Each structure stands twice: as C-alpha cells, then as structure tokens.
Structure 1
Amino acid sequence: MKRALVSKNKFKFIDGTIEVPNICDPNYEAWDRCNNLIHSWILGSLSPSIAHIVIYIENAIEVWNDLKERFSQGDLIRIAEQQQELHNLRQGTLNVSEYFTELKSLWEELEHYRPIPQCTCPVTCTCLTMRNSRLYRQ
C-alpha cells in the first residue's frame, strides 16, 4: 500500500506531512477529495472483515495509524521466528546459490522489521554512530 501511495504522490496524506486543513480553508475540498480517495484505496486493499473495522473512520491517516497499530504487534513474533529460521538454516542439499538466496531473503526481511534508526538532528550530525551501525550490519 505504501508503494502505491508513494507512486501516486499521496503518501504525505498518511505520514502526517500534509495536515488536515481547517474546513474554512479554500484547500479543504481538495484535501477532502484526496483523503476520500486514499481511504477508498486502503479499504479496497483490505479483506472485508478488516475493512469493516475501519470503514467508519473518516480520516485516511487515522485509518492508516489504526491498522499500523493493530498489525505491527506481530512484528516481534515474526522477528523471533526469523531469528530461529536463520539459526536453523543449513545448506543441506541446496546448491550455494539457492542457500545464499534463502539466507539473503531472511536477512532482508529481518532488516525490514528492525531498521537502523535515522539521525534526526536538525544540524548535520557529526557523530559517526549511524554510519558505524550501518557498516556493522553490512
């Protein structure tokens, strides 16, 4: 969903970059149209049982945050499962290419769930902690 929204230049509506304008603001109608479009895209991508939970939430960012909070809880379980899979992975009868592909796939998925934090310093950061963390992970 994030890729679809980014490709349509609409992700800023759900990441908080574009704030809800005042109803008297001349931009409110355009924002409302985009909000409803995004809301319908999100609902269309959900199973009916999940869509039923968020259908009455008016603001797309609130829908996004509700779903994120609801379904990100499983990340810790998935991280533990992946760590176990990595620990148990053996080449066995796989050729080197197949083994490496399986290993790399597990590493990349684990990285997705445990990203290295980005520096948010207002001034260009001078400490090398983030860079060193990335190098260590690589």
Structure 2
Amino acid sequence: MGDSKSVEVLNDPSSPFYIHHSDNPGMHLVSTPLTGNNYSTWSRSMRIALSAKNKFGFVDGSVKKLSDNKATEAALWQCCNDMGLMWILNSVSSGLSNSVRDIARLTQNQMSMSDYYSQLKGLWNELSSYGSHKNCSCGAMEDRNEKEEQNKVMQFLMGLDDSYATMRGQILLVKPLPLVLKVFSMVNQEEKQRGIAAIPQPSVEGAAMAVQGGRGNQHSRGSQGNRKPLHCDYCDMDHHTRETCYQLHGYPEDHRLYKTGGAFAGYTQSKADYSLFTRKVGKPFTALLIYVDDILITGNDMTAIGSLKSFLNKRFRIKDLGAL
C-alpha cells in the first residue's frame, strides 16, 4: 500500500482504519463500566459500540496486523488497535483494571516461590471478588472454571524466572494441565531441591582439621599418656568418636561450618538422576531420593539416617511415613 492509498483509506468511512476527527483515546463508548458481575450486558454494549466505530475487527482478529516491512501500513494498524484498546480500558472499573494490569505484569523476579505464588494468588482472589457467579446444571460453569484454572496455570508458569524454563516446558507438555496448586507444589519442590544441592560441602580434610582443633586437649592428653587416639568409625577420623562426630550429628551453633555442614554435608548429587543424593563415609552408606513431595531415605547406618531425618525436618518440616 503506497502513501497515496493510505491517505484514501484514512478518508474512507467504511475502512476499519478510518478515524473520525472526534475520536480520541479518552472516549467512553459505554455508559456503564465493567465491574465483574455485569459482563454479559457490558460485553454486548461494548461489541455494539466497537462495531459502530468499525473497530471490532481489531478485537476478534479479522483485521490482521499489517506487515512491519511497510512502515505506513504498520503505523495505521497500530494506531487503530491502540485506540480500540484504550476505549476498552476506559470502560472497565478502576479496581478491576488495576487488578488485571497487576496480574499481567507480575513476574517472579528473583522472589522465592512461596512469595511469588502468594502475591499472584492474592491478585486472583481480588479479581474474583469483583464478580459473583451463579451455579448451573448445564455444564457451562464447569467449563468456565476449567478455563480459568488453565489461565492461572499459564500465568504462574509464564511469570517464572528463566532458570525454570526447562521445568515450565515439561509441565506444559502434561495433558491435561494439572491444577495450579499442584503446579506450585512441583515447582516449589524443585526450588527446595536446588537449595539442598547448593549447600556448600566442606572437604574431609577441612572437617578433620576442625575436629582436631576442637579436641586438641584430648589429643595432647592421649599423647602424654601414650594412649591410642580416639577413632570415629563413622567418618574414619581420629581424635573423636561416633557419639561426638560433627559430620554425623551436625556442627554446633558457634562453629564456623554450622550453617553449611551438619547432617547433609558430604552428600553428592547424582549426574544420572538429579533427584538422587548419596553419601559414603567409610563403611556407612546413605542415599536420598527426592521426587516432588516425596523423600525416600535408605542406607546401612540407622544413626546416619536418623540424623538426616532430623536435619530435614528442621529445615522443611517433613512427615516420617515409616519403613516401606
């Protein structure tokens, strides 16, 4: 479309690109704004008003977006589309439009998963409070609720940080889509697993030095009396026993490794299965398998398993379901 034809379109009242000299973005096309419980009447009035302005095609998609390669055509389409959008926004109550905008703009943006979901859920509840829906037996309400749930799942997933892109893609492949609460549970569990995997793990040499430094008096007394130094059969280190082993029972609060060590120190994440963590110190062996809301712990040392359960319960409040 050349510039001369663009001028003809602008002057043709039958063209969807025609804008009357009285049209402006601040116009109110309907007298009663959308409040949430009057959608049917508002929708009908808005459809009639937009059709009268020959702009409803920008809403239902019948007026296709013009090529960006032709600047004049693209500018015409964008101008008319923005005009129609402003007319619609002007006909929505301020409280409802603010909630819609907040939901559309909200992203995780480095927030914790719980904080992100709580904010999003609060906006959903606020938006829902603007309307009331009557029950029916025709099945329409069930379809509506299902679509609303799917929209919530999409909003939640699309707002996640890019680090969850892979998991987002996996969830979107599930048919039918799980409920938004289930999706939150799955992603929240992934966040916790990443937190566990990110716990710094002190080296065996560093742990040995810490133990020796904490029990220097015992070592010196043993040397003076020519007694065999204490030995731990759990970590296979000298100068302490299993009963006082920091690697097994955790570091004391005043220890420099208190927050980073403890019962989870020494666990290695499997490269073949990222849900599997294993630890082997001497003969004792412990394995931890995590999947969504379930944790399976096994091994040949009940003391180590008990310490691990206690550690996890303090961090995440787990429920012990007993032996399989």
TM-score range, shorter chain: 0.3 to 0.5
- Name whichever structure is richer in helix by fraction: 1
Structure showing the higher strand proportion among its residues: 2
Q: What is the TM-score normalised by the length of structure 2?
A: 0.19
Q: 1 or 2 for the larger relative contact order (CA 8 Å, sep ≥6)?
A: 1
Bigger Cα Rg: 2
